[in-house]
Structure 1
Amino acid sequence: MSDQPESRRAAVRRGIRARTVLWIVLAVVLLLILAVVWVGARAALAKGHLERAVSDVSTLRSQVGDGDTKAAQETARQLEDEASAARSLTGDPVWGAAQYVPFFGTNLRAVREVSVVVDDVATGAVSPVADVIGGLSTDSFAPKGGKVDLEALVKAQPAVERATATLTKADRDASAIDTSDTLSPVTSAVNQLRNALRSASDQVATANRVVQLAPAMLGNDGERNYVLLFQNNAELRAGGGIPGAVALLKVQDGAISLGDQTAGSSFGPYPESVLPLEPGTRSLYGSITGRYMQDVTLTPRFDVSAELAREMWKQKFGQQVDGVLAIDPVTLSYILRATGPVQLPTGDTLTSDNAVQLLLSDVYAKYPDPAVQDLFFASAASAVFDRVSSGSFDAKQFISALTQGTQEGRLRLWSATKAEQQRLEGTPLAGELPTVTKATRQFGVYLNDGTASKMDYYLEKTVSVGASVCRPDGRPTSAVEVTIKNTAPADAATSLPEYVTGGGAFGTEPGKIKTLVAVYAPENAIYLGSSQDGKQVGVQTVMDGDHPAVQLQTLLAPGQSTTFRVAFLGDTKYAKAAVDVLSTPGVRQSKVLPLRFDCSDPTAAR
C-alpha cells in the first residue's frame, strides 16, 4: 500500500509528459499548417505578380514596336514592381525552409528561381533600357537635316550593354533550373521563361551590336569611307550576285553621302590575285576571285570578298577605305516600301513592286548598251539613297527592310577595324560559313553562275535538309538537297536579249543556264556521298578552311530541272541540334524545307 502514491505520481508524470508531447505535436502540426498556409498564400500572391509581369512584358513589346516610348517607360516601371514583389514573396525564411520539403520543395525552389530571374531581368535589363528609350526610338535612325543623330545612340550604349549582360546571365540561370520533379504547371512556366529569354537575349544582343557599332561606323569619331557593292542577282555569285556597280559611301558625324561611282567591270583584270587566296578558295572558285571586282563574291565568305574589294579600290583610286558594304536590288525593293516610289532621271518610276523586275530583267531589253545599264543601276541606287539620306521615309518600315535583307543574306557589312569586325562576327551581316552549336547545325548551299550572262533571273531554287542518327555510335547523318530549274521561256534563245542569254560567247548555248552548285558542311563533318537526280555522281571535294565542301556543275535548258543531294556525318555531341541551311540569295527568296531519307543510303531519292 505504501508504494501506491508513488505509482500515482509516476502515472501523473507520464500523463503530463504525454500531454506535453501531444501539445508539442499539435504545435508542430499547427506550425506546419500555418507554414503551408503561409507559403500557399504567398505562392498565390507571387503567381499573380508573375502573371502580371508576363502581361507587362507583352504590353511593353507592343508599345516599343509602336514607338510609344512614354507608355513603354511606365510599363517598364510596373514590370519592375511586379517582379520585385514576386521575388520578395518567395524569399522569406519560411519559404526558404519549405524548399527542402520532399516533392513540394522542388516546385517551391523552381518558383523562387523563376522569381529571381524575372526580377533580375526587370532591374538589370528592362529598367536601364527604359531610362534611355525615350531618346532611342525607330526615328533615331532617320536622318534629320541630312544627318543621323548619334548622341542618342551613344547615350544608350551603357544601358544596352548592361541589359545584354543581364539577359545572357538570366538565360544561363533559367537553363539551370531543375524541373525534373516539378509539377506540370511549374515545368511549363519555366520552359516559357527559357524560350522568352532565349529570344530576348538574341534580340538584345543584336541591338547591342548596333548601338555599340553604329556611332563609330557612322563617323562619330571622324570621317569613314566604305566601298559599296551593288550585287546583281541575275548573274549569281555565292555571296549574292555579281558586283555590277561600285560606289564610295562617305559618312561623317552621321551625315551620309555617295562619292565616286563606277562599273564593277572597270576593276581589273589584275595579272594575279590582289591578295593571297587560301587553297580552298582558289580550288573551288579560281584565281579570278582576286583578279576581277565582279568575281570577289564567288566565295561565300564575305570577309574574303570585302578584303579583296578594298584592295582593288585602293589600287584603282589610291584610297584605303574603312570597310565594305554589299546590297542587292531585292533589298532596295524592301527599302522602297519605306521610302515610297522614287523618280529616276530616265523617267522610270521605281517602286517596291517593280524594282526587282525592272533592275534585273526589263532593263536589258530597254537599254541594250551595257554602259547605259550600268548608269541606270547607279542612278537607281542614287535615287533611293538620296531619299533615305534626306530622312523622307517611314523609319519603322526602313528598319524592317534592313532586317529582312540581312536575314536573307542580301545585306553584308565588313569593317577594317578589328574590334568592330569582332562585334560583327556571328551575325548575319558578317556573311560567314556555316557554324555548329548544340542548338543548330548549319549547312551551306551556294550557287555561282557559269553562263556569264543574266539568265539567273529565271533560275528557281528549292533547298531541303534533314538529319537522323543512323549509326550505333550516335553520330548524326545529315542530307542536303538542292533542286534548281530553268524557268526561262522555251524560245529564250531568240526572245531574250543577247546580253541576257550570253549569246554563246562563253561556251553556253543561248537559253541554257550553267550553274556551279557548292554544298558546305559545318567544321569537322565527314563527306559521305552525293547523287544527282537519284544517281551517284562524281563531284569536286575540297576543304575550305575547316569546312568540307563539294561542288557540281549543272547545265539546264529552258524547262529542265535537276536535284543534287549530299550527305555528311557529324559529331555525336551535336546529334540533337536542329539543322538549317544558309543559301545564296537569288531573285526570289526560297524557304528551307524538311527532308526525310533512308539511313541505308541518305543520298538516294525516296
Structure 2
Amino acid sequence: MTLWVVAGALIATICALAWVAVRGAIAADLLRSARGQALEVVANVDDPAAVSELITGLAADTGTAHALTSDVTWQAVEQLPWIGPQLHAISTIAASADAVAVDALTPLAEVASTLPADAFRPIDGRISLDGFVAVQNAAARAADSIGGAAEAIEFANSPALIGPLADVVDQVSDLFTETAHATDALARASVLIPAMLGQDEPRDYLVIFQNNAEWRSLGGIAGALAVVHTDDGGLILTEQDYAANIGSFVPPVLDLDPELTAVYGVRPATWMHNVTQVPDFEVSGQLAQAMWADRHATQVDGVIALDPVALSYILEATGPVELPTGDTLTAGNAVELLLNEVYVRYPDPEQQNQFFSDTTSAIFQALTQRGFNAGTLLAGLARAGDEYRVMLWSAHDEDQAVLADTTLAGAPLETTRRTTPFGVYLNDGTGSKMDYYQSVETTALWEACTLDAAGAASGTAVLEVTIANEAPASGLAEYITGGGAYGVEPGSASTVGYLYLPEGFELADATLTTGDGFGGGFIDGRQVLSFEILLAPGESATARVAVRTTEPSGAQLAVRQTPTVNRDVTPETGSCLLGPLDSNQGAP
C-alpha cells in the first residue's frame, strides 16, 4: 500500500511538472511576443492610434502569460526546493508584465487615443498644454505601477536561480528599472512642463550652453547664454549674452557653504564661467540666476543647462538646421563644429560669439516653428538626461520638488540599498579648449567583497580614473591651446579633479601615477579628494583610490562623471552579486 502511495505521489509530481513545463513554454512565447510589441510601442510613441492598438495586443499576451503561471499547480510546484525559485521568478515576471500592461500602459493608451497626433508639437511658436494636463493622472498611475513591478522583479532575483535564468531576470529587472525611470519622468514632466510654459503666469528661463572643450564638474564652462520667455505655452527667445561679458563678482555674488568653499574656493560664485564647477546644479542654478539678475536686472524663474552633445540628440529630431554662415548643423557635425572647428575658423572671440548667437537662434526657430519628430526628441532628451547633459533648476519650490531625485537635478548620486556611487568631476586648469582632445577611462570595481543575507555588500572597492592628452604635438590654434596665458605650455592640458567617495566608506589608499598627492575635504558627510595633473600631448596619468566599507552598502558600484565630448564612453562598474569579486570582474 505504501508503495502505491509513493508511486501515485511520484506520478502526480511528474504530471504537475509536465503541466508546469508546457504552460511555462507557452508563457515564455507570449512574453517574447509582448516584448516585441513593447519595443514597437516605443518606436511609435508619436502615433497615438498605433500605440493604442499595440498596447491592446500586448495586454492580451501578458494576461494570458500571467494566467498560465499563476494556477494552483504552478503555485504548488513553486514550493519545491531548487525548481521553486526558478518558477517563482518566471511567475513574477509574468505577473509584473501583466500589471504594467493593465494598470500602466492601457490607461496611458486610452488617454493617448483621445489626443491629436501633434498634441505635443509646437504650432507657430506655441505648445498646447492640454495634452500634458490630460496625461497627468494616467502617467502618475503608470509610474506607481511600473515602479512596483520593477521592485518585485528585483526581489525575485535570488542567488538560487540557475545561471541562464538569473541572466534573464537581470535583463528584465534592468528593463523594468529603465521603464520605471521613463514613466516617472513622464509623470513629473506632465506636471512640470505646463508650469514652466507659463500655464498660470509668464516665466523666464536662463539657458546655459556648456562647453565640454573646457571642462567643469557638470560638463563644461558656461559659454553662450539665452533667456526664453514663456506664456500659456508660447515660447520667445528674448535675450542673449555670453559668460565672458558677465565679468567677475567681488565680493562673490552669493555666499557658498563653507564646506564647498573649503574644496572649491570662491571661483564658482565669482565667474559665470565657473558656476558648474560645484557638482550640484541646485547651487549652479542659484549662482547663475543671481549673476544674471545683477547684470541684466531680470529675475529668471529657473536655469537650464545643456551641452553640444545633448544638442546633437535634439538635432536628430529636428533634422539639419541651416545657419546664416551657410553651414548646415546636423546631429553628426554639431559637436565638432561647436567645440572645435569654430575656434579654428574664427580666432576673434567676437566672431565666435556671433556664430554661437546665430546658432542658438536657428535651433530655437527649428524647435518652435518647424516642428520635430516627437518620439526621437523624447528618446534624445532621455539619453541626454541619463548622461547628465541636461539639467534644470527652478526658483519655484513646487517645481524643484518635482525635479528632486532625478538626473535633471544634477546632484551627486547617493548611496541606496542597491547602489554605491562614486563621483568623478573634472575641471580644466589650462584656460583653453584642450579638453576636446582629452579622454577619460574610469573603472569602479570590488577588489574583495561579501554579501550579507539582505544582499548588502562589505569589502574594498577601487576607483581608477585615467586621463590622456591625445592632442597633436603641434598645429593647434592659439585659442584652443590657450597660448600659454595661464603658464601652461601650448598643447599641454592641466586638469583639476574632484573624487567623491561613497557614503559609508573610509579611505584605504590613494595614489597618482605622477607621484603627486591629494587635497580635498568633506561635503555633506562625504570625503572629497582633489588632485591636479599636467599632461603634454601623448601623456596620461591615473588616479587610484581604494575605499573600504564601514557599514554594509549597495552591491552595485556606480559612477557619476563629468560628461565629455565622447558620448559613447561610460565608466566600467562592478557588482558584488555572487560573493567576492576580483579586480578583473566587471558589471554583469
CA distance in 2 between partners of 1:387 and 1:112 (Å): 48
CA distance in 2 between partners of 1:189 and 1:458 (Å): 39
Show the counterpart of 1:527: 507
Could you tell me which runs of 5 or more consecutive residues in structure 2 were left unpaired when the two chains were aligned. none
Kindly state the Cα deviation for residue 422 of structure 1 after the two structures are TM-superposed: 2.5
Task: Give the counterpart letter for 2:44 in structure 1.
Answer: D
Task: Give the counterpart letter for 2:38 in structure 1.
Answer: L
State the SS of the aligned residue for 1:166.
helix
In the alignment, is the contact (CA less than 8 A) between 1:480 and 1:566 conserved in 2? yes
Show the counterpart of 1:546: 525
Kindly state the Cα deviation for residue 326 of structure 1 after the two structures are TM-superposed: 0.7
Answering whether residue 466 of structure 2 is matched by residue 488 of structure 1, we say: no
Post-superposition Cα deviations, 1:72-109, rounded to whole Å, max 9, x if no partner, equal 32343344344445556677778778877899888877
Larger radius of gyration: 1
Show the counterpart of 1:423: 402
* 135 and 41 in structure 1: CA distance in 2 versus 1, 3 angstrom threshold: same
Task: Give the counterpart letter for 2:226 in structure 1.
Answer: A
Counterparts of 1:88-237 in structure 2, within 5 Å, are: 116-134=95-113, 140-176=119-155, 194-237=173-216
* 568 and 34 in structure 1: CA distance in 2 versus 1, 3 angstrom threshold: closer
Q: Which structure carries more helix by proportion?
A: 1
The farther-off stretch of 92-101 and 504-513 is 92-101
* 370 and 471 in structure 1: CA distance in 2 versus 1, 3 angstrom threshold: same
Kindly state the Cα deviation for residue 227 of structure 1 after the two structures are TM-superposed: 0.8
- 1:63 pairs with 30, 38, 41, which one? 41
The farther-off stretch of 178-187 and 308-317 is 178-187
CA distance in 1 between partners of 2:65 and 2:438 (Å): 57
* 211 and 557 in structure 1: CA distance in 2 versus 1, 3 angstrom threshold: same
Show the counterpart of 1:6: none
CA distance in 2 between partners of 1:509 and 1:100 (Å): 70
Kindly state the Cα deviation for residue 122 of structure 1 after the two structures are TM-superposed: 2.9
Kindly state the Cα deviation for residue 177 of structure 1 after the two structures are TM-superposed: 5.0
Show the counterpart of 2:30: 52
Kindly state the Cα deviation for residue 393 of structure 1 after the two structures are TM-superposed: 3.1
Task: Give the counterpart letter for 2:403 in structure 1.
Answer: L
Task: Give the counterpart letter for 1:270 in structure 2.
Answer: F
* 266 and 122 in structure 1: CA distance in 2 versus 1, 3 angstrom threshold: same
Answering whether residue 455 of structure 2 is matched by residue 476 of structure 1, we say: no
Kindly state the Cα deviation for residue 550 of structure 1 after the two structures are TM-superposed: 0.9
Answering whether residue 301 of structure 2 is matched by residue 322 of structure 1, we say: yes
Task: Give the counterpart letter for 1:214 in structure 2.
Answer: I
In the alignment, is the contact (CA less than 8 A) between 2:420 and 2:555 conserved in 1? no
Residue identity over aligned pairs, in percent, reads 35
Kindly state the Cα deviation for residue 119 of structure 1 after the two structures are TM-superposed: 3.7
In the alignment, is the contact (CA less than 8 A) between 2:41 and 2:55 conserved in 1? no
In the alignment, is the contact (CA less than 8 A) between 2:27 and 2:65 conserved in 1? yes
State the SS of the aligned residue for 2:546.
strand
Show the counterpart of 1:11: none
Show the counterpart of 2:252: 273
Show the counterpart of 1:503: 483
Answering whether residue 266 of structure 2 is matched by residue 287 of structure 1, we say: yes
CA distance in 2 between partners of 1:560 and 1:94 (Å): 65
Show the counterpart of 1:76: 55
Answering whether residue 562 of structure 2 is matched by residue 567 of structure 1, we say: no
In the alignment, is the contact (CA less than 8 A) between 2:464 and 2:543 conserved in 1? yes
In the alignment, is the contact (CA less than 8 A) between 2:557 and 2:574 conserved in 1? no
Task: Give the counterpart letter for 1:530 in structure 2.
Answer: A
Counterparts of 1:442-481 in structure 2, within 5 Å, are: 442-469=421-448, 475-481=458-464
TM-score between the two structures when normalised by the length of structure 2: 0.85
* 455 and 584 in structure 1: CA distance in 2 versus 1, 3 angstrom threshold: same
In the alignment, is the contact (CA less than 8 A) between 1:445 and 1:584 conserved in 2? no
CA distance in 2 between partners of 1:583 and 1:333 (Å): 18
CA distance in 1 between partners of 2:480 and 2:71 (Å): 75
State the SS of the aligned residue for 2:282.
helix
TM-score between the two structures when normalised by the length of structure 1: 0.82
Show the counterpart of 1:373: 352
In the alignment, is the contact (CA less than 8 A) between 2:120 and 2:131 conserved in 1? no
- 1:516 pairs with 496, 499, 507, which one? 496
State the SS of the aligned residue for 2:212.
strand
Show the counterpart of 1:14: none
In the alignment, is the contact (CA less than 8 A) between 1:343 and 1:350 conserved in 2? yes
Answering whether residue 225 of structure 2 is matched by residue 242 of structure 1, we say: no
CA distance in 2 between partners of 1:272 and 1:132 (Å): 53
CA distance in 2 between partners of 1:82 and 1:271 (Å): 65
Aligned length: 574
* 26 and 478 in structure 1: CA distance in 2 versus 1, 3 angstrom threshold: closer
* 391 and 565 in structure 1: CA distance in 2 versus 1, 3 angstrom threshold: same
CA distance in 2 between partners of 1:436 and 1:201 (Å): 19
In the alignment, is the contact (CA less than 8 A) between 1:434 and 1:582 conserved in 2? no
Show the counterpart of 2:561: 582
Post-superposition Cα deviations, 1:96-133, rounded to whole Å, max 9, x if no partner, equal 78877899888877776665444433321122122123
- 1:307 pairs with 286, 289, 295, which one? 286
Answering whether residue 381 of structure 2 is matched by residue 402 of structure 1, we say: yes
Post-superposition Cα deviations, 1:527-575, rounded to whole Å, max 9, x if no partner, equal 2232222x65311021122221111111222332222222222344226
* 589 and 92 in structure 1: CA distance in 2 versus 1, 3 angstrom threshold: closer
Post-superposition Cα deviations, 1:301-332, rounded to whole Å, max 9, x if no partner, equal 11111110011112222222111101122222
